[in-house]
Structure 1
Amino acid sequence: MFPKFNLREFKRAMQRLGINVEELSDVEKVEIYFKSKKIVIEKPQVTCMKFQNQTLYQIIGSSVEEQTPVEYSEEDIDFIISQTGVSRDKALEALKRANGDVAEAILLIRESRV
């Protein structure tokens, strides 16, 4: 399917272009965090490429997507309750629908969308 990839030839070609290529060894895990999830890559092959003032990391490996539990602060929950007069459960539901955005949660409650 793909032609055989020769890392040595790749490094030489990149050096001719002024790009320094270095393979990082002993990398155990790479984690990429999003607002509502996390991608974990176990035992990846990581290559670092430096060109001018830029650094590029190429990560190759099998990934697993994990949902990260969202935690809301007590201050946010209490603030929503004080501003809207709703129950704690309703304030939490609004925060979940608003992805943690307090102002959006208050608007959802006031517009009776929760």
Structure 2
Amino acid sequence: MFGGGGMNPRKMKQMMKQMGIDVTEIDANEVVVKTDDEDLVFDAPQVTRMDAQGEMTYQIVGEPESVEPSAGGAAGAVEGAEGGEEAEAEAGIPEDDVEIVAQRAGVPGSDAREALEAEDGDLAAAIARLE
């Protein structure tokens, strides 16, 4: 990850902890990266989340398959959704945005969604509204 060369992994973890960096492995089945030109689908990727001073960084390791972009952007998320979640996804506020605002502001998802709707989807404004 950091190109530690021959550094002892235990010592690397200790140094990262001292710098306030927390690394977590995520057991992901699939990751989809959506772009205007294509969707990159990673099946069975190795995903690592790094939390450094409140900023979350995700690292995806694997070989992606390039597919045509899905219509509507969040079609995959809506397919398996139940009634309430489907209506929320159609409202234009991505569930990922709701999760980010809820986590950052320390509030339930319903409050985060309301703040995002009130701020027309602006994450920073929604977080500021809740803090």
Tell me the TM-score normalized by structure 1.
0.50
Structure having the larger proportion of residues in strand: 1
Structure having the larger proportion of residues in helix: 2
Structure number with bigger Rg: 1
**Structure with the greater relative contact order (CA < 8 A, sep ≥ 6): 1 or 2?**
1
